[in-house]
Structure 1
């Protein structure tokens, strides 16, 4: 049996301004850092063996706060971000092989990035609804297969996220590792859609709060046997 912990990043500075963020690399707000700290407290008693995040700083910040505010979550190990040679501006970060007895690896990958909102990125959501109409903007935001101008649909996002989950994350769970994924509303919806076997209509109605951990218990075949939302 293994545990999979999903957490949407804490509030970002653009979340606070009600802007479409997508792939724009915006850090956490003060509230967002506090949400990540509270999440760490809610995860007291849980143990993590490996962590995956998107390439975006708000997810990385959330993961590192969760893993460093309390020693018990890492079992006393030091979280280490594992860079690849293919990473942009690489300068030898991957020359260190690591020490599994003392360190907890954090793997970052763009497959877990937020949905790409294209031309909407940086725009205020309320102003955009006023310009294009609330119904059209709601369709761009909440439909499963409709893409916003120049951007991705949730269906597009789900395909890339689930492919990475199946190939890279699921093997850890099947071998009994407890996994933390810190990512984004739409990338996490994509994983939850797979785990909970949601329909397109069901997944578009799913709301995920910032900084609230969701814990899945999985059996040795990767099937869900329990689910908890740690929101109190």
Structure 2
């Protein structure tokens, strides 16, 4: 999912900060630069972390951004934000070579290590907002990554599914809010739904239906697997969410 968006793009967007009085967010307009783990950013710039559930476990190659010591990049441009994209670590079904899709399975010990390593790569980038899919493998990746951050802020999952859930999860300490990072979960960031392939072994499926047919289901843009989502259908919901919630 995350790999579907160019990591070198510069898009118009917004960042968010806590509104302590309302325990909510206010939008701050600016520019959002898409980067991957491993880039350097100065302290006066802010980043949002997106952990999506992709079709496979991998990390984007680092994009080298100017450090605070680069005079050609003015540190006064605090309206510019970084958007960090992290793929989830290895899941239990990745390990078993199964089609996972929207089945909610956790990380393996290796996946935990991968999430921790990703966190180390972004530990010096200020982060004030986190978006993840609704799947536990993406949420585990985000939480484990943020445990490595030098600012030691606490990621807190926001529960806005109902008025009661929102009310019950309110934070009333302004100081605590300053030490927290809101985590927004969204099903629109989930991995594509693989339909009748979910839970099947990838090699056995290729042996049964043929490599060309399985390759078409997995890699064609507009051809979905049986009763599943095509990449086009998946992109429609993910890109729409990005435009409406992250960059609009």
Q: TM-score range by the shorter chain?
A: 0.5 to 0.7
Choose between structure 1 and 2: higher helix proportion: 1
Structure showing greater radius of gyration is 2
What aligned pairs does 1:46-195 form with structure 2 within 5 A after superposition? 46-70=125-149, 72=150, 75-86=151-162, 92=165, 94-98=167-171, 99=174, 100-171=177-248
Choose between structure 1 and 2: higher strand proportion: 2
User: TM-score, normalised to structure 1's length?
Assistant: 0.68
Q: How many residues align?
A: 165
Name the structure 2 match of 1:202. none
Contact kept in structure 1, 2:158 and 2:169, CA below 8 Å: no
Unaligned segments of structure 2, at least 5 residues:
1-79
Deviation at 1:91, TM superposition (A): 6.5
- Distance in 1 between the 2:89 and 2:205 partners? 24
- Distance in 2 between the 1:94 and 1:31 partners? 37
Contact kept in structure 2, 1:85 and 1:94, CA below 8 Å: no
- Distance in 1 between the 2:83 and 2:104 partners? 25
- Higher RCO, 1 vs 2 (CA within 8 Å, ≥6 residues apart): 1
- Distance in 2 between the 1:54 and 1:8 partners? 11
Name the structure 1 match of 2:110. 31
- Distance in 2 between the 1:66 and 1:170 partners? 23
Aligned residue for 1:92, secondary structure, equals helix
User: TM-score, normalised to structure 2's length?
Assistant: 0.64
1:4 to 68, 72, 83: 83
Deviation at 1:130, TM superposition (A): 0.3
Deviation at 1:77, TM superposition (A): 2.0
Let me know the Cα RMSD of the aligned residues.
Answer: 1.5
- Distance in 2 between the 1:62 and 1:56 partners? 10
Deviation at 1:94, TM superposition (A): 4.3
Unaligned segments of structure 1, at least 5 residues:
172-232
